[in-house]
Amino acid sequence: MTRTARILALAALACPLPASADLALDFPGAASQSAEEIVGAASYRLPVGPYADSGLETIRAEGTIRQAAWRTATPQLSTLELLSTLREQLTDKGFSILFECETEGCGGFDFRFAVDLIPEPEMHVDLGDFRYLAARRVTNGKPDYVGLMVSRSLESGYVQITRIADDQKAAEIVAKSTKSDATRPIEAGSLAAQLNDAGVAVLSDLDFGVGSAELAGDDYASLDALAQYLEANPGHSIALVGHTDFAGSLDGNVALSRKRATSVLDRLVGRYGIDPARLDAQGVGYLAPVASNETDTGRAKNRRVEVVITSTQ
């Protein structure tokens, strides 16, 4: 993985969402939920084997069925990398893996269309590159099932999480997105605490006009706080990650978001004297929104720069 890819992955990994204590999974990348379906008190045929001439091997699971599709800004990660971190978290939470497969080992085309998935475009599956996992946990005699389907496109990763459990558990959120406590706009005074706790924070008072890469103002409390944090932690290095709204092409927005991050970097070096060797500037365009792009308020929130801790040595 290139240095840039690692920085983008770090930026995404540092974006947790408070979720239920029962089951909360961190994606290996900034994620936004694209669809959700919930069916109460039903049965579900969970695949636990590859598709074969005799059909698809399944087990019958009963309870509330919750399916959610997520899109992740992780073009640099393979489907194995996407799945492996989720698998590890499930096993850490007491789940046993019932079945896991990759594309042809799953049964290819036949397996993909035999599995109950949220349709395109919310859940995209590349027929040549997908992975599936089924897991079970038993608590107080009650089974709890999770099925994961992971695939990717050139620009994004895609994950569908299917959970079948009793009504209370299934109603709880099962994944984390970028719309989180760690990435919500923060007051400058809490920036150090956010960086220490989560490794990421939004520089929420920066002002970028539509289509502009230049900072509109001279003084920003968040930059004052960030400079103080870097001075107090001389062994820390950071990445500044720019984001845009969805107006325009992806390539254009990635370039614009990188220029915005570079503007912040230049301000830290020029005004505060921060060593540029401790700073990096990257951009991900509109791939990791924190608000709806359907409103002026949401688009303004998406035009932002985040700071991510990349080294503490």
Question: Is residue 183 a contact partner of residue 199, using CB atoms and an 8 Å limit?
Answer: no
Q: Considering the domain boundaries, does residue 124 fall inside one?
A: yes
Q: How many domains does the chain have?
A: 2
What is the torsion angle, in degrees rounded to the nearest 10, for the CA atoms of residue 274, residue 276, residue 278 and residue 281? Answer: 110
Q: Considering the domain boundaries, does residue 176 fall inside one?
A: no
Is there a single domain that holds both residue 166 and residue 194?
A: no
Is there a single domain that holds both residue 193 and residue 166?
A: no
Q: What is the CATH number of the domain that holds 298?
A: 3.30.1330.60
Q: What is the CATH number of the domain that holds 124?
A: 3.40.1000
Is there a single domain that holds both residue 165 and residue 45?
A: yes
Is there a single domain that holds both residue 204 and residue 150?
A: no
User: What is this structure's pTM?
Assistant: 0.51
Q: Considering the domain boundaries, does residue 16 fall inside one?
A: no
Answer with the one of 113, 142, 170 that is the final residue of a domain. Answer: 170
Is there a single domain that holds both residue 147 and residue 222?
A: no
Q: Considering the domain boundaries, does residue 7 fall inside one?
A: no
| b/e sequence 38-51, b meaning 16+ C-beta within 10 Å | eeeeeebebbbbbb
Is there a single domain that holds both residue 138 and residue 218?
A: no
User: What pLDDT score was predicted for residue 209?
Assistant: 62
Question: Is residue 220 a contact partner of residue 205, using CB atoms and an 8 Å limit?
Answer: yes
Average pLDDT, the chain: 81
Answer with the one of 105, 140, 170 that is the final residue of a domain. Answer: 170
Is there a single domain that holds both residue 221 and residue 145?
A: no
pLDDT tens, position by position, 193-231? 878 877 788 888 888 766 778 887 778 888 999 999 999
Instruction: Report d(CA 66, CA 36) in Å as an integer.
Output: 7
Q: What tokens appear for 44 in the block?
A: 């579900």
At 14, is the pLDDT very low, low, confident or very high (cuts 50, 70, 90)? very low
Question: Is residue 104 a contact partner of residue 129, using CB atoms and an 8 Å limit?
Answer: no
Is there a single domain that holds both residue 36 and residue 148?
A: yes
**Residue range 124-137: average pLDDT?**
94
Answer with the one of 117, 137, 170 that is the final residue of a domain. Answer: 170
Residue 304 sits in which domain range?
Answer: 188-311
